[in-house]
């Protein structure tokens, strides 16, 4: 069995770069997904992800394993998001599913289609994903951030509370409110689509 995140961080504190590479390998994708669900911009998400790992390495000697490493990492990510984007009200708006995804020039929607042989199915999937994205965009930053941490990143309520620096009850109420707002948004959007 591999080493725990805390053991790896202790090795990072002692100058073992391979331990840091292992932590990056473990958390790069989850952290990238966290930022992407907040920003809807792959390049900004990658930049933020890189900055979080730079901060972890730069402040490696101040790490104390009092909570899970993931909680520590998402806390740094959250602070970065607040510092750079939310406080400046510079959060990018959602992008079109037809926007280029980067390498290869394929559109985002190209990657989401589950059945390329059925154009009506493709259209339905794109419309549903677009409605869900608009529903997430309609949430306040606190609700959206909490929902992303718990439902998309898989953090337990107590871990999300640690990242957000709020009581567990606040996380519960935010999740409830976020889900209610998303359901409401989707039911209105569904009614308008008919």
Percentage of the chain with pLDDT > 70?
Answer: 75
Residue spans of beta strands (DSSP E) within 70-172? none
Three-state DSSP at 96 gives: coil
23: its two tokens: 């932590």
Mean pLDDT, all residues of the chain: 80
DSSP symbol at 51 = H
- Number of other residues whose CB lies within 10 A of the CB of residue 20: 19
Q: What pLDDT is recorded for position 106?
A: 44
Report whether pLDDT(61) > 60: yes
Q: What is the pTM of this model?
A: 0.67
Report whether pLDDT(176) > 90: yes
Alpha-carbon span 71 to 30, nearest angstrom: 12
Question: Alpha carbon of 89 to those of 39, 63, 84, 92, 141: distances in Å?
Answer: 12, 30, 9, 9, 10
Report whether pLDDT(119) > 70: no
Judge whether 102 and 50 are in contact, CB under 8 Å: no
Model confidence at 136, pLDDT cuts 50, 70, 90, reads: confident
Query: Nearest 5 degrees, angle CA 49-CA 54-CA 57?
Result: 130
DSSP symbol at 107 = B
Judge whether 162 and 78 are in contact, CB under 8 Å: no
Model confidence at 1, pLDDT cuts 50, 70, 90, reads: low
Judge whether 153 and 145 are in contact, CB under 8 Å: no
Three-state DSSP at 66 gives: coil
DSSP H/E element including 104: none
Q: What pLDDT is recorded for position 67?
A: 83
Q: What pLDDT is recorded for position 173?
A: 96
Domains of the chain in start order, with CATH, are 1-92 (1.10.1740.10), 113-194 (1.10.10.10)
């Amino acid at each position: 069995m591999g080493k725990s995140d805390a053991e790896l961080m202790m090795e990072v504190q002692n100058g073992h770069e391979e331990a840091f590479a292992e932590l990056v390998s473990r958390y790069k994708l989850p952290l990238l997904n966290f930022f992407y669900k907040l920003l809807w911009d792959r390049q900004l998400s990658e930049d933020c992800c890189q900055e979080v790992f730079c901060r972890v390495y730069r402040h490696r000697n101040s790490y104390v394993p009092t909570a899970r490493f993931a909680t520590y990492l998402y806390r740094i990510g959250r602070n970065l998001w607040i510092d750079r984007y939310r406080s400046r009200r510079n959060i990018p708006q959602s992008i079109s599913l037809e926007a280029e995804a980067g390498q290869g020039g394929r559109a985002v929607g190209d990657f989401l289609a589950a059945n390329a042989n059925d154009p009506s199915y493709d259209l339905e999937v794109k419309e549903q994903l677009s409605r869900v994205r608009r529903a997430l965009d309609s949430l306040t930053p606190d609700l959206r951030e909490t929902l992303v941490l718990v439902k998309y990143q898989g953090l337990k309520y107590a871990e999300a509370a640690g990242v957000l620096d709020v009581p567990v009850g606040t996380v519960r109420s935010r999740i409830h409110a976020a889900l209610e707002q998303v359901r409401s948004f989707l039911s209105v959007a569904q009614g308008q689509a008919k």
